[in-house]
Structure 1
């Protein structure tokens, strides 16, 4: 484990504390132009999400309709009633994005897959970087906003559902996440635009630290952010840990 990764894990509450965790439940306000482009408008503004921090298993309840919830796992997504009756499901859900572009509309199962894996990745980083097969290595620092941010290039194994295999995470001197770069393959298709996902307003909940404000922006060719639109915004209103 690199000294930067150790510093980052400690800053976010420590690996020992993380291993004690059994469930994360959040209330979030989620917005941005992506949802409108995909045909869901303001459907995610009031999101209640529960997830298993140690397995990719996520549920939004309610999901789009009162009395229904989503169920995400990497190889299957479903829409269920609150008592578990399956309304719709899709096995091998990532294949259903083949041929998509940013303007391609989604169905409910596309939405369940993307919102499931994305939120799981956001809420489990940086502890996700210690998973078997995941490689995190420090690369050259990056100067932005008058600060010098240290960076981890993280390569994820095929069994982790995520935006794309290789991503870059930027950390301040305090070890807290400032920016996260990735290419959203399921959102943009074969030629995904690079996204710079900014995080701030970090708060501690039961000993673990999460950024409570996220803004995902497109980037310019020189790796600076475009500020003309927000692709995705996430505000965590409440975080409960079990």
Structure 2
């Protein structure tokens, strides 16, 4: 394993603890201008996010109605009633984003797909980078104020849905995640810089509970005047 990745995995709880766990659950409050641009502004209602840790499967509730939830995998996204009845579903959901720009409206299944892959990625970072098929390499560090954050570039395998094939992860002196860069391919491919804050420990795993994603300028710096996506997590449990 890459040395920086080894240090980051250890700082976030260690691979042995991660392998003992199968599932994460957290309360989620999200917002930001991206959803308004997509015609689906997000309210501040807390939602419950559940993800599998060793396969890409996620669900959030409520979604669209108090008795509804999503069911996400890379090959299918659905909206279901609490008893499992399917309200709407889409196979090969990534294909529906072909030709999208930043301003192209999303339907609820598009939103469910984005939510599923994004939160699965965030709740499994950095451990997902140890999964089969990922390629990881050191990149130039990022300087933030007085700190220098070493970085990794990860190549995601075709079977994992995420923002983009190539994504960059930067870690602080304690090797906890500080910043995550990517292109949002399902929204016209705009460049994003996501800063993470307020790391906490839950059931032996350390993770940030606040994320703020901004558009990224050509110099790599975030355009702080507009928060594209905000995510606050609470009541986190790994089982």
- TM-score interval (norm. to shorter): over 0.9
Paired with 2:64 and 2:3, the residues of 1 have a C-alpha distance of: 43
Report what 1:10 is aligned to.
Answer: 10
Question: SS where residue 153 of structure 2 aligns?
Answer: strand
Paired with 2:139 and 2:79, the residues of 1 have a C-alpha distance of: 41
Report what 2:234 is aligned to.
Answer: 237
Paired with 2:168 and 2:237, the residues of 1 have a C-alpha distance of: 27
The counterpart of 1:206, out of the listed 203, 213, 227, is 203
Structure 1 position 42, deviation (Å) = 2.3
Structure 1 position 31, deviation (Å) = 0.6
Q: Which has the higher strand share?
A: 2
Report what 2:90 is aligned to.
Answer: 90
Question: SS where residue 227 of structure 2 aligns?
Answer: coil
Report what 1:224 is aligned to.
Answer: 221
Kept in 1, the 8 Å contact 2:102–2:190? The answer is no
Paired with 2:175 and 2:205, the residues of 1 have a C-alpha distance of: 13
Q: 1:139-178 residue pairs with structure 2 within 5 A?
A: 139-178=139-178
- Give TM-score scaled by structure 2 length: 0.98
Structure 1 position 144, deviation (Å) = 1.2
Kept in 2, the 8 Å contact 1:71–1:80? The answer is yes
Report what 2:76 is aligned to.
Answer: 76
Question: SS where residue 129 of structure 1 aligns?
Answer: helix
Paired with 1:232 and 1:37, the residues of 2 have a C-alpha distance of: 11
Paired with 1:22 and 1:201, the residues of 2 have a C-alpha distance of: 24
Paired with 1:150 and 1:225, the residues of 2 have a C-alpha distance of: 18
Q: 1:121-140 residue pairs with structure 2 within 5 A?
A: 121-140=121-140
Paired with 2:55 and 2:191, the residues of 1 have a C-alpha distance of: 27
Paired with 1:84 and 1:43, the residues of 2 have a C-alpha distance of: 25
Structure 1 position 44, deviation (Å) = 6.1
Question: SS where residue 230 of structure 1 aligns?
Answer: strand
Alpha-carbon displacement from aligned partner over 1:12-56 (angstroms, at most 9, x marks no partner): 000110111121001011010011111221246422111101111
Question: How many residues are aligned here?
Answer: 239
Gaps of 5+ in 1: none
Kept in 2, the 8 Å contact 1:43–1:64? The answer is no
Structure 1 segments of 4+ aligned residues over 3 angstroms from their partners:
none
When the two chains are superposed, the root-mean-square deviation of aligned CA atoms in Å is 1.0
- Give TM-score scaled by structure 1 length: 0.96
Paired with 1:214 and 1:236, the residues of 2 have a C-alpha distance of: 9
Question: SS where residue 40 of structure 1 aligns?
Answer: coil
Gaps of 5+ in 2: none
Paired with 1:212 and 1:142, the residues of 2 have a C-alpha distance of: 22
Structure 1 position 206, deviation (Å) = 1.0
Question: SS where residue 229 of structure 1 aligns?
Answer: strand
Kept in 1, the 8 Å contact 2:169–2:180? The answer is yes
Paired with 1:45 and 1:67, the residues of 2 have a C-alpha distance of: 14
**In the alignment, does 2:15 pair up with 1:36?**
no
